[in-house]
Chains A and B, each alone.
Chain A
């Protein structure tokens, strides 16, 4: 039983990191109609950039800001100079997925070329371990969960209450009509990639914090979790991504407590395949 409760704690942690990543990913899809599989690549690049600054003696919590900035910039460049030109040309979505895989190679192995093949880790203190019954999390882990909840709140506010959020929803729903309302959709798309890129960078650094040690290809499996969360909630639906992250995060950790820990990711895969087969628009998406 205590194992179960402890796994709930870890599940929350995984869900927290996953939520940051999944919301960014799904909004990129909503507004641009691109499945940006290079997302995990950008995450790890930002994790390494934060590491480089951290290794120079800066506190990891400040490096988070560096990671956020890097993520925003890289993602913006990725869309403006890679995805948008291909889309303008009429390249079919499948080919753009192949392009994103190519970009993943460039990001991940470019990082490895620069930083080397050995795993690295942040110099940070985990802080005190808080214990509540069988629940056991370090201060750092709790901080991550709090950051994630706060960011979800921020995203909620942005999407629901700001002009940009309105413009994003319109652009995602019907781009041409949004333009007819006077919305400068090109700028909306750029702003979206900046914001989701920031989320991506944040997710990358937090992933690094959570992983203990990480390498250039560590986010490969994580991408599958992101996809599972996104498709569970519905591609393009930010609230769906939050819900999906919670379910996938909990499901993987709780199942690890019951079945052999190595298979915990299989749960995520099975959910993803099932959603694609049965309801590709996800739980919160409209029927296609």
Chain B
């Protein structure tokens, strides 16, 4: 009886650790790693071969590498290390611009391949038979057969699970965790706001991998054997089921899932008396039930039993009564520019000039310039040999019919699209080869045409994400804890709240950004771009679908920004906006620049008038 309980506790702890690792990758960072089981397996094998004596021992019936006979806790540490290191090549696969489902399939296949390799290459890890007689931790000192040992192991498993839980909470409830979640919600936007996606995904994978390795090391120390059957295709699915059911993106949910699925569920079936003549029926039905649970949960409750908590940050000033907001689950449908509503018109009533941290003064003629810039695809020129200079502190407009290449030009300037020809200079330095996140750090920041808020972050979290120079925005910083980054975070929160107040939206601070109206989301996006402390702000149709009065106010805001030293470049359709706010205005057509100048001059340009103006 005692052994039954201790076994349950040990498995519970180990499963919790594994699920926590997976939840961090899948729920927090948004990486669907179907190869997850490999890391647990690697950890188990590593702990095994580190603690086993050289393979000639025990009559030499198994073949394996290493065999260093190391004492506890070294094999366990090795397990975690190997789990983490093995993640690095995987980070390379996941980073590629591959469709989510293709990448997931690639990882699944890799897991199967590893299993096959290990099964067949006998000298490595003893092939299909696997490893057995693995020494248990401290077995020379304590008696592994006694109940005291069993209890100690249980305690160790639970304590380790708790440590992992606290560790992950600390990492996730930090600016770095916020950045991971932003990347999960919309990676392209996170990239454009200065976040290095590759290094973020790598750190998420390594963290999860090390934790998985740890769970494997613990497991093998308990059951003293490990073979390829223990880590197949089906085992990965069980862990995913656990995380989905328990609640992805919520660490307590991961633990709950671990207890419910691998533990309770598999244990419960033990109590069902085996069907006479059919010992296999119950285990098989167990798998069927897990498959059914996956489908049912993804349909009825994709966020899991314990959904990700909404983080309430804003202080007493401005926080509205918490509105129970619906958790936006995994749907990611882009919505067409939403209709403007009358109430949006009053949003910017209280706008005053917004002080934005300004970068060192630039005394040249063109703070941003491009020469011969082009983007062609299969012989079609979306943008064809564009050469432009943008003077500092001006509000430049870019107009032209649909398909003229305006958005493509903007995307190339911001770095979210690679040009096929030409150069781009920022402050006289060539940035053509710089990826989007590096340009954002230099101060070249863009907004997007379609809805691009981080849906499952609150409004204020959206604003906090892009602030440069956050101490807590690195893994190390997050690890060092609130004491390290708390003060700066408090200041940043104050700045964000002040920004919200100036826009009159402080009541929305703790609402999920995905729940707002069209006009509100538009403003959040502009505020968010401002929080990135832009040097050059690139706006892609900021007024689309926005009520005319609000559009006017946004225009006034932008003028104020320029007076403060920021350079703004805006793609728009509304000629009235160009009239009122922009000087100069650039007209594009068929990928080329047709004309440039003040609106008045353009209106008398016959070609431009002919093509684009009315009246």
**0 or 1 for each of A253-272: is its CB under 8 Å from B? (1 = yes):** 00000001011011001001
Evaluate contact between B331 and A113: CB separation under 8 angstroms.
no
B81-122: CB near A (< 8 Å → 1, else 0) gives: 000000000000100101111111110111011001101100
- Cβ A112 vs Cβ B284 within 8 A: yes
B429 CB-CB contact with A under 8 Å:
no
Could you tell me if B288 and A94 are in contact, using CB atoms closer than 8 angstroms? no
- Evaluate whether A280 and B244 lie within 8 angstroms (CB atoms) in the complex, with A99-B294, A224-B112 already known: no
Note all chain A residues with C-beta closer than 8 A to B237: 101-102, 105
Interface-located stretch among A2-10, A85-93, A204-212: A85-93
Smallest CB separation, B483 vs chain A (Å): 37
CB-based contact B332/A86 at 8 Å? no
Say whether A101 contacts B120, CB under 8 Å: no
**For the complex, what is the distance from the CA of A267 to the CA of B240, rounded to whole Å?**
28
- The interface bits of chain A over 214-252 (1 if a CB of B lies within 8 angstroms of the residue's CB, else 0) are 001000110010010000000100000000000000000
| A266 adjacent to B113 (CB under 8 Å) | yes
CB–CB B333/A90 < 8 A? yes
Residue B363 CB within 8 A of the other chain: no
- What is the interface residue range for chain A against chain B? 35 or more
Query: Which one, A86, A109, A235, contacts B299 given CB within 8 A?
Result: A86
Name the residue of chain B whose CB is nearest to the CB of A104.
Answer: B291
Q: How far is the CA of A96 from the CA of B117 in the complex (A)?
A: 29
Contact residues of A between 104 and 146, Cβ < 8 Å to B: 104-106, 108-110, 112-113, 116-117
Looking at the assembled complex, report how far the CB atom of B402 sits from the nearest CB atom of chain A, in whole angstroms. Answer: 18
| Distance from A243 Cβ to chain B, minimum over Cβ atoms (Å) | 19
Shortest Cβ distance from B377 into A: residue: A287
B288: chain A residues at CB < 8 Å are 105-106, 109-110, 113
CB contact between B285 and one of A113, A221, A235, A262 (< 8 Å): that residue = A113
Given contacts A89-B331, A98-B298, A109-B285, contact A280 B102 (CB under 8 A): yes
Do residues A280 and B98 form an inter-chain contact, with CB atoms below 8 A? Answer: yes
Inter-chain contact A109/B291, CB cutoff 8 Å: yes
Residues of B within 8 A of A97 (CB): 101, 104-105
Q: What residues of chain B lie closer than 8 Å to A91, measured between beta carbons?
A: 298, 302, 330-331
Neighbouring A residues of B280 by C-beta, 8 Å? 112-113, 116-117
A177, CB-defined interface residue at 8 Å: no
Given A260-B120, A272-B106 in contact, is the A99-B331 Cβ separation under 8 Å?
no
Residues of A within 8 A of B281 (CB): 113
| Bound-complex Cα distance A275 to B484 (A) | 45
Q: Are B284 and A113 in contact (CB under 8 A)?
A: yes
For the complex, give the distance between the alpha carbons of A85 and B296 in Å.
Answer: 12
Query: Chain A nearest CB: distance from B365 CB in Å?
Result: 40
Q: List chain B residues, Cβ under 8 A from A167.
A: none
Q: Is the CB of A94 within 8 A of B291?
A: no
A265→B110 CA distance, assembly (Å)? 12
Find the residue from A37, A85, A101, A277 having the highest chain B CB count within 10 A. Answer: A101
Cβ of B303 to closest chain A Cβ, rounded Å = 12
Is A106 touching B100 in the complex (CB atoms < 8 A)?
no
Contacts of A86 in B (CB 8 A): 298-299
**Cβ A95 vs Cβ B330 within 8 A:** yes
Least CB distance, B204 to chain A, in whole angstroms: 16
Q: Taking the complex as formed, is A103 at the interface, i.e. its CB lies under 8 A from any CB of chain B? A: yes
> In residues 272-328 of chain B, which contact A (Cβ within 8 Å)?
278, 280-281, 284-288, 290-295, 298-299, 302
A277 touches B113 (CB 8 A): no
A37 touches B105 (CB 8 A): yes
| A266 to B115 CA separation, bound complex (whole angstroms) | 11
Q: Interface 1/0s, chain A 74-85, versus B by CB < 8 A?
A: 000000001001
* B99 touches which of A82, A216, A269, A280 (Cβ 8 Å): A280
Taking CB atoms, residues of chain B closer than 8 Å to A90 are: 331-333
B151 at the binding interface (Cβ < 8 Å):
no
B234 located at the interface, meaning its Cβ lies under 8 Å from any Cβ of chain A in the complex: yes
On whether the beta carbons of B240 and A116 are closer than 8 Å, the reply is no
For B72, the chain A residues whose CB sits under 8 A away are none
Taking a contact as CB atoms closer than 8 A, the residue among B102, B119, B278, B298 that contacts A99 in the complex is B298
Q: Return A62 CB to nearest CB of chain B, in Å.
A: 29
Q: A99: which B residues are within 8 A, CB to CB?
A: 294-295, 298
Chain A residue with minimal CB distance to B122?
A262
Whether B23 sits at the interface, judged by CB under 8 Å, is no
Residue B233 CB within 8 A of the other chain = yes
Chain A proximity of B241: nearest CB distance (Å): 8
Task: Say yes or no: A269-B240 contact (C-beta < 8 A), given A95-B298, A105-B290.
Answer: no
Contact B93 A269 (CB under 8 A): no
- Tell me the smallest distance from the CB of A99 to a CB of chain B, in Å: 6
A99 to B302, CA, bound (A): 11
Any A CB within 8 A of the CB of B378? yes
Give Cα A117 to B232, complex, Å: 17
- The answer to whether the Cβ of A35 comes within 8 Å of any Cβ in the partner chain is yes
Inside 8 A of A227's CB, which chain B residues have their CB?
105, 109
Chain A residue numbers with a CB within 8 Å of B408 are: none
- Residue with the highest number of chain A CB atoms closer than 10 Å, among B96, B113, B284, B290: B284
A102 CB contact (under 8 Å) in B98, B120, B291: B291
Q: Is B32 an interface residue (CB 8 A)?
A: yes
Which B residues lie within 8 Å of A273 (CB)? 93, 106, 109-110, 113
Cβ–Cβ < 8 Å partners of A55 in chain B:
none
Q: Are A35 and B101 in contact (CB under 8 A)?
A: yes
Q: Are B104 and A116 in contact (CB under 8 A)?
A: no
Contacts A93-B101, A95-B302, A280-B102; A109 near B287 (Cβ below 8 A): yes
Select from chain B the residue with minimum beta-carbon distance to A272: B109
Give, as a whole number of angstroms, the nearest-CB distance from A120 to chain B: 14
* B284 and A117 contacting across the interface, CB-CB below 8 Å: yes
Are the C-beta atoms of B93 and A277 separated by less than 8 Å? yes
Interface residue A150 (Cβ < 8 Å from any Cβ of B):
no
Contact A269 to B109, CB < 8 A, known contacts A95-B302, A106-B288: yes
Q: What is the minimal beta-carbon distance from A43 to any residue of chain B, in angstroms?
A: 15
**Chain B interface (Cβ < 8 Å from any Cβ of A):** 32, 93, 96, 98-106, 108-110, 112-113, 116-117, 119-120, 232-234, 237, 240-241, 244, 278, 280-281, 284-288, 290-295, 298-299, 302, 330-333, 378
Ordered by A's residue number, 6 sampled pairs between the chains whose C-beta atoms are within 8 Å are A35-B101, A90-B331, A102-B295, A103-B291, A269-B109, A276-B103
The 10 A-B residue pairs whose C-beta atoms are closest, nearest first, are A105-B291, A102-B294, A109-B287, A262-B120, A113-B284, A93-B101, A106-B291, A269-B113, A94-B100, A90-B331
Q: A273-B93, A273-B113 given. 6 additional CB < 8 A pairs?
A: A102-B295, A103-B291, A105-B237, A106-B291, A269-B116, A272-B106
